[in-house]
C-alpha cells in the first residue's frame, strides 16, 4: 500500500494521538445544538438568531474555561434547560420564556414552581449529581486549549450581530404565544428588553408635570347614606359570543351580560386569550398594563411593592374590610404579593380554600358566602371573587356531571364546550344572588362583574378568513373587537348611584372608578383626577392621545409617592 501524503499522515497521526473519543467530546455538543435548532426553530430568521445566541454562549464559556468540549456541553445544557422551562411556561400560561423572565425573577416564581412540582427540588439535586461528574470527565477528555482573547472577540462579534439583527428585524410580540423558537425568541427579546429598560425603565411616565396630587386623608371619606358591601367578580374568559357571526347559542343566552337597568355594557380588556393578570392589575390598581410596554406580561410581578394605589386601598380608607378569593396558588405571577400591595387584607388562594384542581364557580361563591357570614355585621366588605371554571382548554369537558341535560348546539366542539361552561357560570351566579338575598335579607350589596378577556379562539370566530399573521397584527393594534368583553352592575337592597363614569364602554383601568361611583364612595384625589381623564377621553385610558394621558397620570402618582422605584 502506498504511503499517505505528509499532510494526510499528519492528520491521521493527530487523530490517533488525540483519540476518537476526545474528538467526539468536542463535536457532540455542536451536533446536539444543531439537532435542537432543527427541531425548535421553524424559519430562517429564527435559525439565524439561534446560531448567534449559540455563538455567544459557546465563546463566553471558552473565554472563561478555554476548553471547547466543556464549553459546548455547558452551552447545550443551558439551551436544553431553557427549552424545557419555556415549554413548561407555555403549558401553564400559553407563552414561551423570554429575557424579561430573567430580569424580574423573584422568590414567588421559584415558590410557584416548587409548589406545582413538589419533587422539582430533588430532581435538581439529582441532576447536579449526574451532571457534575460528566463535566469533570469532559474537562479531562478535552484535548484543545483556545486562547481567551480570540474567544472573547468572537463572543462580542456574535453579540453585535445579534443586536443589529434584533433591532433591524425585531421579533413580533405575538410570536411569544407560539410554542417554538425558544432560544431565538429569548435572545432577541433580550436585546429589545434591555434597550427599552435603558430608554424608559419598566413603566412609561412623563419626565415631569406641573400639577401635584393631594395625599388622601384617612378620615376624609364620608359617604352619603349606608355603604353597600361590594363584590367584584372576575368572570374568566367570558364575553358575549354573539359578536361572532353564525354561532348558535342557548335560548335566553344574553341576559347574563345585562346590568340591573337592562343595559349591556362593554369592558375593554388589555389582553386576549390568556393573561388574566393584565386585567387583575387593571381592576385592582386602576391603571394600564400597557404602560409597561414590553414588560407588561410581568406587570403584577413588577408592580408588587411598587404600585401602592388601587381600589382596595381606596375602600379601606372608607372603612371597608377587603378579601380576595383566588383559584390558583398565590405565588403565581406574584398574585398574593401584588394584591396585598393594592390593599387586599385577606388573600385566600387555592390551597387556603381547599380547592382541588379547577373548581366550578359555585365552589368560590359558597366560600365567599361563608366568609361574609363570619364578618362583623357593621363592617362593610369588599370581596374579590376570581373564577376559573371557564378557563382553557375547551377541548376537554369540564365536570359533565353538573350539566347532565346539556346537548351540543352544532358549533365547533370547543365553542360548544365554552357555551356549556358559560351556562354553568350563569346558573351558579343566579344561585349566588339568591343565596345573598336569603342569608343577608337586610344588607345592601353592589355586585360588579366583568369578563377578564376573550377566549383564545375568539379571533378566529370574529375573523375566520384571517391567517395567524393577520390575527397577530390586529392583536398588536388593539382592535377593540378582540378585546371587548362585558361589565355588568347588579344590586341587592341598594340603588346604584347614577354617574357619568358608568359609561356604556370603559377601558379596564376605569373599573375601580366605576365601582366607587356606583357605590357612592367619595373619590380620593388620584381617582378624582382619573375621573377627569375618563370624561375627557370618553372612557379610553391608555389609548387616549396615544398614551399621553396615561404617562402624565403615572408621573402624578410617582410624584405623590403612590408609585415607587419605577
Cβ neighbors of 436 (< 8 A, separation 6 or more) are 369, 443, 445, 492
What are the tens digits of pLDDT across the range 9-68? 554 555 444 567 667 767 878 898 899 999 999 889 899 999 999 999 999 988 988 888
Q: How confident is the model at residue 109 (pLDDT cuts 50, 70, 90)?
A: low
User: What is the pTM (predicted TM-score) of this model?
Assistant: 0.83
pLDDT grade for 1, boundaries at 50, 70 and 90: very low
What pLDDT, on a 0 to 100 scale, did the predictor assign at position 451? Answer: 98
Q: Over 60: is that where the pLDDT of 5 sits?
A: no
Q: Which of 136-150, 192-206, 404-418 has the lowest mean pLDDT?
A: 136-150
Strand partners, 292: none
Looking at residue 122, what is its pLDDT?
Answer: 59
Mean model confidence pLDDT for the chain? 88
User: 339 versus 103: which is more confidently predicted?
Assistant: 339
What is the number of alpha carbons within 13 Å of residue 473 lying toward its C-beta? 5
When mean pLDDT is compared over 168-172, 375-379, 442-446, the highest value belongs to 442-446
Residue keyed to cell 404579593: 337
Q: What is the pLDDT of residues 93-107, one digit of tens each?
A: 667 888 777 776 666
3-state secondary structure of 542: coil
Q: For residue 490, what are the CA distances in angstroms to 191, 263, 277, 487, 495?
A: 47, 11, 24, 10, 9
Taking 50 as the threshold, does the pLDDT of residue 152 lie above it? yes
- Residue 392 is predicted with a pLDDT of 85
Q: Give the distance between the most distant pair of CA atoms in the chain.
A: 109
Contact between 385 and 368 under an 8 Å Cβ cutoff? The reply is: yes
65 in Cβ contact with 144 (< 8 Å)? no
Give the pLDDT score at 164: 92
Per cent of the chain over pLDDT 90 is: 61
Domain 229-559 has CATH 2.60.40.10: no
Contacts of 106 (CB under 8 A, 6+ apart): 301, 304, 334
- Report domain extents, the chain: 13-200, 229-559
Distance CA 563, CA 558 (A): 5
User: What is the average pLDDT across 365-371?
Assistant: 97
**Is residue 424 within 8 Å of residue 389, measured between CB atoms?**
yes
267 three-state secondary structure: strand
Assign 385 to helix, strand or coil: strand
Q: What mean pLDDT is predicted for residues 276-299?
A: 94
The predicted-structure confidence for 212-246, as pLDDT tens digits, reads as follows: 998 765 566 777 778 999 999 999 999 999 999 99
Supply the pLDDT for residue 43. Answer: 87
In contact, 484 and 440? CB cutoff 8 Å: no
Distances (CA, A) of 522 to 215, 496, 518: 14, 14, 11
SS3 440: coil
Confidence band of 2 (pLDDT split at 50, 70, 90)? very low
Please report the pLDDT score of residue 555 as a whole number. Answer: 96
Residue 138, pLDDT above cutoff 90: no
| 435, pLDDT greater than 80 | yes
**Residue of 338, 324, 238 whose CA lies nearest to 281:** 338
Give the per-residue pLDDT at 245: 93
More confident site: 100 or 421: 421
Mean of pLDDT values over 435-451: 97
Most confident of 130-144, 188-202, 527-541: 527-541
Instruction: Check if the beta carbon of residue 276 is closer than 8 Å to that of residue 454.
Output: no
Residue of higher predicted confidence among 473 and 265: 265
pLDDT for residue 185 is more than 50? yes
Is 381 strand, coil or helix? strand
Mean pLDDT of 65-80: 85
Amino acid at each position: 500500500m502506498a504511503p499517505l501524503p505528509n499532510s494526510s499522515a499528519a492528520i491521521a497521526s493527530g487523530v490517533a494521538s488525540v483519540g476518537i473519543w476526545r474528538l467526539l467530546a468536542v463535536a457532540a455538543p455542536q451536533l446536539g445544538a444543531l439537532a435542537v435548532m432543527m427541531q425548535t426553530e421553524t424559519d430562517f430568521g429564527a435559525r439565524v438568531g439561534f446560531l448567534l445566541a449559540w455563538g455567544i454562549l459557546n465563546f463566553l464559556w471558552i473565554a472563561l474555561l478555554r476548553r471547547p468540549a466543556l464549553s459546548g456541553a455547558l452551552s447545550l445544557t443551558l439551551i436544553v434547560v431553557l427549552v424545557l422551562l419555556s415549554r413548561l411556561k407555555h403549558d401553564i400560561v400559553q407563552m414561551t420564556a423570554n429575557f424579561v423572565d430573567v430580569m424580574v425573577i423573584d422568590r414567588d416564581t421559584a415558590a410557584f414552581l416548587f409548589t406545582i412540582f413538589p419533587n422539582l427540588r430533588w430532581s435538581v439535586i439529582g441532576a447536579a449529581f449526574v451532571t457534575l461528574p460528566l463535566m469533570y470527565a469532559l474537562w479531562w477528555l478535552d484535548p484543545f486549549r483556545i486562547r481567551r482573547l480570540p474567544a472573547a472577540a468572537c463572543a462580542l462579534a456574535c453579540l453585535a450581530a445579534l443586536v443589529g439583527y434584533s433591532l433591524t428585524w425585531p421579533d413580533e410580540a405575538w410570536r411569544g404565544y407560539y410554542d417554538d423558537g425558544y432560544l431565538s425568541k429569548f435572545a432577541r427579546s433580550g436585546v429589545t428588553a434591555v434597550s427599552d429598560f435603558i430608554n424608559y425603565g419598566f413603566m412609561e411616565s412623563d419626565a415631569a408635570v406641573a400639577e401635584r396630587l393631594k395625599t388622601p386623608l384617612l378620615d376624609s371619606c364620608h359617604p352619603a347614606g349606608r355603604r353597600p358591601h361590594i363584590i367584584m367578580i372576575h368572570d374568566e374568559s367570558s364575553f358575549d359570543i354573539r359578536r361572532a357571526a353564525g354561532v348558535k347559542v342557548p335560548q335566553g343566552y344574553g341576559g347574563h351580560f345585562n346590568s340591573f337597568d337592562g343595559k349591556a355594557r362593554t369592558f375593554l380588556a388589555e389582553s386576549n386569550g390568556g393573561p388574566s393578570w393584565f386585567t387583575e392589575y387593571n381592576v385592582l390598581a386602576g391603571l394600564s398594563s400597557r404602560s409597561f410596554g414590553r414588560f407588561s406580561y410581568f406587570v403584577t410581578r413588577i408592580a408588587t411593592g411598587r404600585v401602592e394605589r388601587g381600589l382596595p386601598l381606596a375602600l379601606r380608607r372608607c372603612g371597608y374590610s377587603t378579601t380576595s378569593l383566588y383559584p390558583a396558588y398565590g405565588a403565581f405571577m406574584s398574585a398574593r404579593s401584588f394584591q396585598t400591595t393594592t390593599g387586599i387584607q385577606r388573600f385566600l388562594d387555592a390551597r387556603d380554600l381547599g380547592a382541588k384542581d379547577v373548581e366550578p364557580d359555585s365552589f368560590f361563591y359558597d366560600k365567599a358566602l361563608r366568609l361574609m357570614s363570619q364578618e362583623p355585621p357593621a363592617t362593610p366588605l369588599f370581596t374579590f371573587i376570581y373564577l376559573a371554571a371557564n378557563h382553557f382548554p375547551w377541548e376537554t369537558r369540564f365536570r359533565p356531571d353538573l350539566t347532565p341535560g346539556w346537548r351540543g348546539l352544532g358549533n365547533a366542539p370547543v365553542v360548544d364546550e365554552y357555551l356549556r361552561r358559560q351556562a354553568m357560570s350563569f346558573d351558579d351566579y343566579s344561585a349566588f344572588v339568591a343565596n345573598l338575598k336569603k342569608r343577608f335579607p337586610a344588607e345592601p350589596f353592589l355586585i360588579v362583574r366583568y369578563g377578564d378577556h376573550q377566549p383564545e379562539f375568539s379571533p378566529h370566530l370574529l375573523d375566520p378568513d384571517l391567517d395567524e399573521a393577520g390575527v397577530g397584527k390586529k392583536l398588536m393594534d388593539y382592535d377593540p373587537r378582540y378585546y371587548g368583553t362585558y361589565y355588568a352592575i347588579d344590586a341587592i337592597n341598594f340603588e346604584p348611584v347614577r354617574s357619568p363614569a358608568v359609561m356604556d364602554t370603559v377601558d379596564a383601568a376605569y373599573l375601580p372608578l366605576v365601582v366607587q361611583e356606583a357605590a357612592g364612595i367619595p373619590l380620593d384625589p388620584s381617582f378624582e383626577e382619573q375621573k377627569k381623564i375618563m370624561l375627557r377621553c370618553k372612557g379610553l385610558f391608555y389609548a387616549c392621545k396615544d398614551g399621553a394621558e396615561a404617562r402624565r397620570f403615572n408621573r402624578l402618582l410617582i410624584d405623590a409617592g403612590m408609585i415607587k422605584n419605577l
